[in-house]
Structure formats: structure tokens, C-alpha cells
Amino acid sequence: MGSNSTKLSPRQKMINLMYIVLTAMLALNVSSDVLDGFTQVEDGLNRSNDNVDQRNEAIFRRLESFTDQNPDKGRPWLERAAEVRKLTGELYDYVDSLKVAIVTKADGAGADVNDIVHRDDLEASSVVMLNPATLEGQRLRRHVDVYRGFIADLMLDSVKKANIEAALSTDPFDRKGIIGGQKWEEAKFENQPVVAAVTLLAKLQNDLRYAEGEALSALLSAVDAGDVRVNELNAFVIPQSRNVMRGGKYSANIVLAAVDTTQRPAIYVNGSRLDNDLGLYEFVAGSTGNFEYKGYLEVPHGDGSVTRHDFTSAYTVVEPTATVSATMMNVLYAGIDNPMSISVPGVPNSAVTASMTNGTLARHGDGWVARPGKVGENAVVTVTANIDGRPQTVASTTFRTRKLPDPTPFIAFADANGVQNRYRGSRPFAKSLLLQAPGIEAAIDDDLLNISFKVLSFQTVFFDSMGNAIPEVSDGAAFSQRQKDQFRRLQRGKRFYISAVKAIGPDGITRDLSPMEVIVN
């Protein structure tokens, strides 16, 4: 009995060895859910990178425009901004090349970064980034260090400077059993699945775009490019409308650009001085046709001199007609009430009727509400007015019918003054406000539409110290307890992502919304 417990047959030894190998393989296996989480996060990061790059390009163009107007003052700042764009683009492209190298090592020739086959390959990232012959990881760290120092030197705001230094930090990672910390490149790429390594590189690119945007904004602020600058004085006539109905009132403001409000100019129209100092010129139009008027402004200066600035303008008086307009836009949206304004000048509202094809049109107070039917089919609004006791069709206007656009997810919060605000991501957000928020909402609020949607579900994606994605599912539109627990563990400067957002609107259509990046401040 004792002999059998210590001496194993060759077959039993082989079985034991196979068990050990299987156990090792299971230990190395990466969950497909985690790999899918990485893929989803990387897609969101790539979209975010494109959006931030467009915003940065707009800031750079504003600086270019200012330099065109004031070359002597703007050129030094534009040259710095161009250097920021150049360095960011070079480092961004270098990171892209590392993605391609890692995926190629895993999938072979013809590999596609956007369609990785061997996502769970644990060797490719180490071979490419930690190879002692090429030292790509060390090289990347040095480039990030140089870039971080360059951008930080441009920042005058200490908080923004600290945020950039934290986002692009390459400090060693403290790990159990490792004295002195683990090198940045080893912690990021050693034994990482290919999809995780590519996602981490995409996150680094996102941090580069963020740092670039902060630097460009700082350079733009340094030259006060938002201020209006003038190098000459011009008179302007600003009419309420150049077309006036017979019997209606013509109104226009005549102003001088950069006028001193403490010393207004004298304004003369057709030889007569206006009887007010606000530049308001108005009269009742008596007949139809095209008309022109002219005049001048007399502007006093501090040395006692007076300069004269001439102006001319024109207006048209037409017969009464109907006006039909959609309050929100020149389109109607299916599934909701579209406010409309319908009126006929000179005719009381009670004598005006209207009808619409492809839907219903009903009077609502002083206005109208249109509710179209089919998407893609035009709606024609026909207006009839009772003029001199006889009904007369005065207008027929065609509107396009569209589906409601997708809403934007956000976190609602109240600022220190109790004013309600909406956080849409991609900028620092106070951790205290995050912990107070019950969940996320979604709405269209682009000044044309103001429509709330019901959030059905979403998930949050966090990153642990190894860079592994940790997805958590919400409780409907509310943050789940597991998500709130993750929020409490987040440190300043850390980021997580809200993705897989599903929402339904008043049109009954369920939509998948774009992910949102949250930066904890």
C-alpha cells in the first residue's frame, strides 16, 4: 500500500504531466468577455481621438486666422502651435506603427489592426515592445517623457499642467515582489493580450490629443484671440428686414462699429438728424416697390475733431402674403409634435386656416402643432385666409419629414450655485459630483430640438493597475452598486468609459448611443 503511494507508473506520470500543462493553459486563457471589452473600448477611443483632433484643428485654425490679421503679434504663438501639432502628429504616428507591429507579430503578414484574429496572444506585445535588440518600449517611454516636458512648459495653469503630467506619466509601477518598482513599458506590455496592448496604445494616443488640445488652448488664450480687433471705423445699417408688407413698419438700426457708448455719434438720414441717440430709424411703409436711403454719422474725437462716415441702404415693400415656418427647423420630425407659426399679415388669426398632407396639423393657442406621419415623405402645408369674406389660398409650403436624430448621453449635476448642468465627457469631472449622480440621461438639446430620451441600459468600463478592462453593467438608467463602488476607488486623473448605451425616444425607436469618456478630477 505504502509502495503504491510513492511509485507511479509511466502512464500515471504522463497523465499528471498533461494535467499540469492543461492547468497552465487555463491560467493563461483570457476571458472572451474581457477581450470584447477591450475591443469596444478601443473603438470608443478611436472615435474620441478623431473628435478631439477635429477640435484641436479648429483651435489651430483660429490662431492662424488671428495671425493673418495681426502677423507681428500672432506669428510667435502660431509657430509654437505648429510645433505642438508637429510633435503630436509624429508621436501619434509612431504609436500607430507600434500597433501595426504588434498585430503583425500576432497575425502575420496582412494583419489588420481593426480586425485582430489572435486577440489573446500573450507574446506579441512583449516581443515587439520588450525586445532587448530593438528596445521599442524604452524608446516609446523616452519619446513620451520628452513630449510631456515640452507640453508642460507651455501650460501656465498649474492644475492643467498637473493633469497633463499625470495623464502622460511614465513613472515605474509598484508591484508585489518587485523592489524599486516595475518599468513603465514592462508594466504596460509584458504578457499582455494583443487587444489589450493595442487598446493601451489607443489610450496613449487619446492622452496625446488631450495634451495637444490643452496646449493649443493655452496658446490661443495667450494672444487673446477671442477679442474683437478693428483698424478702421465703418457705419452699418442693420434693418429688421429688407422686405416690408404694405401697411407694415420698416425698422433698422444704424450703428458705428466700436462706438463709444459714453459719446454716441450724430446720425443724419436723407439730410435730417434722427430724434434718438440709439440709431433707431423707423417709419410706416405706404406703397410697394424698391426704395433706397442714405446718410452719414458724425463722430466726435477727444481732440475736438469730428469725422464723417457715410452709409447707404435699401429696402423692398411687397404686398401681404402668408408666412409658414417650422419653429424648430425647415423640416418636420416624425413621432413628435412640431411647433409651427402660421400667419397672414393684415388678416386676424381667427380668419386663417391651414391643413397638411402626410400627418395632422392643429391649432395650439396662437401657434400650430404639426405631427407628420411617414418618414421620407414630404408634408405640404396649405394656408387659407378669409379676405373680404372670401376664402383664398395664400400659401403652400413643402417640408421634409425626418426621423429624430440620435441623442447624446450625459450626467446631470448641479454646480455650486445650484444651476443644473450636463456633463458629456472628455473633460475633468469632480468625483464628488460623480458620486452624487444617480445615473445617466440622454437628450437632444442642440438649440433646435429639446427632446428627452429614456435610457434603458449601459455599461461602464474601468481599467485596473495592469491596464485590464473591467466592464460593469448598469441598473437600467441608474448606476449599479458595483459601478458606484468602482467610482469610490477612482483616483484623480483616472478615466473610465460609459458605453453600450441604449435609449428610446418618443418615436418608440431604440438607439445605440456613442460612448462617453469620463475623466475624474
Q: Are 44 and 515 in contact (CB under 8 A)?
A: yes
Final residue belonging to a domain, choices 175, 197, 222: 222
**Based on the domain organization, do 86 and 216 belong to the same domain?**
yes
Average pLDDT of span 14-29: 47
Same structural domain, 304 and 361? no
What value does the mean pLDDT take over residues 70-77?
A: 85
Mean pLDDT of 338-353: 86
Task: Please check whether residues 81 and 203 belong to one and the same domain.
Answer: yes
* Host H or E run for residue 341: strand 338-343
Note the pLDDT tens digit of each residue in 233-256: 667 777 766 555 444 566 788 876
Q: Would you give the DSSP letter of residue 351?
A: G
pLDDT band at 320 (very low <50, low <70, confident <90, very high): low
Describe the strand order of the beta sheet including 331-333 as a list of residue ranges. 331-333, 390-402, 379-387, 352-356
**Residues 351 and 498 occupy one common structural domain:** no
Q: pLDDT, tens digit, for every residue of 86-123? A: 999 999 999 989 988 888 988 888 888 888 888 888 88
Question: Does some domain include residue 7?
Answer: no
365 and 295 both lie in a single domain: no
Domain co-membership, 132 together with 208: yes
Residues 298, 447: one domain?
no
Residues 390 and 438 in one domain: no
Asked whether residue 36 is domain-assigned, the answer is yes
Report how far residue 119's alpha carbon sits from residue 205's, in angstroms, rounded to the nearest whole number: 20
Tell me if 56 is assigned to some domain: yes
Q: Quick check: 346 pLDDT over 50?
A: yes
Tell me whether residue 335 is in a domain: yes
pLDDT at 318: 62
User: CA 391, CA 348: separation in Å to the nearest integer?
Assistant: 13
- pLDDT tops 70 at residue 67: yes
User: Do 327 and 311 have their domain in common?
Assistant: no
Residues 280/249, Cβ–Cβ less than 8 Å? no
Give domain status of residue 497, yes or no: yes
Tell me what the mean pLDDT of segment 421-435 comes to: 93
Secondary structure (DSSP) of 258-282: T--TTSPPEEEETTEE-SSSS-EEE
Mapping DSSP to helix (H, G, I), strand (E, B) and coil, where does residue 195 land?
helix
Residues 327 and 299 in one domain: no
pLDDT at 1: 41
- Please, are residues 314 and 290 in contact by the beta-carbon 8 Å criterion? yes
Q: How many domains does the chain have?
A: 4
What radius of gyration, in Å, describes the C-alpha atoms of the chain?
A: 33
Query: Which among 279, 302, 318 is the end of a domain?
Result: 318
Among residues 318, 336, 366, the one where a domain terminates is 318
Name the average pLDDT for the chain.
82
Same-domain status, 372 and 463: no
10 Å CB burial of residue 362 (0-12, 13-18, 19+) is exposed
Q: Which of 169-183, 340-354, 371-385 shows the lowest per-residue confidence on average (mean pLDDT)?
A: 169-183
Q: How far is CA 163 from CA 151, 160, 172, 211, in A?
A: 11, 5, 18, 9
DSSP string for 30-74 = --HHHHHHHHHHHHHHHHHHHHHHHHHHHHHHHHHHHHHH-HHHH
- Domain-embedded: residue 12: no
368-377 pLDDT, tens per residue? Answer: 999 998 888 9
Which comes out higher in pLDDT, residue 516 or 48?
516
Q: Is residue 240 part of a domain?
A: yes
What is the predicted pLDDT for the residue at 280? 86
Higher pLDDT, 173 or 411: 411
Question: Structural domain of residue 149, as residue ranges?
Answer: 30-222
The verdict on 172 and 200 lying in the same domain is: yes
- pLDDT at residue 303 is higher than 90: no
Within-domain flag for 378? yes
Residue with the bigger pLDDT between 331 and 5: it is 331
pLDDT of 137 above 70: yes
Give me the CATH number covering residue 314: 2.60.40.10
Is 159 exposed, middle or buried, given 0-12, 13-18 or 19+ CB atoms closer than 10 A?
A: exposed
DSSP 8-state code for residue 415: -
pLDDT the model gives residue 369: 95
Mean predicted confidence (pLDDT) in 460-480:
92
Percent of the chain with pLDDT over 70: 81
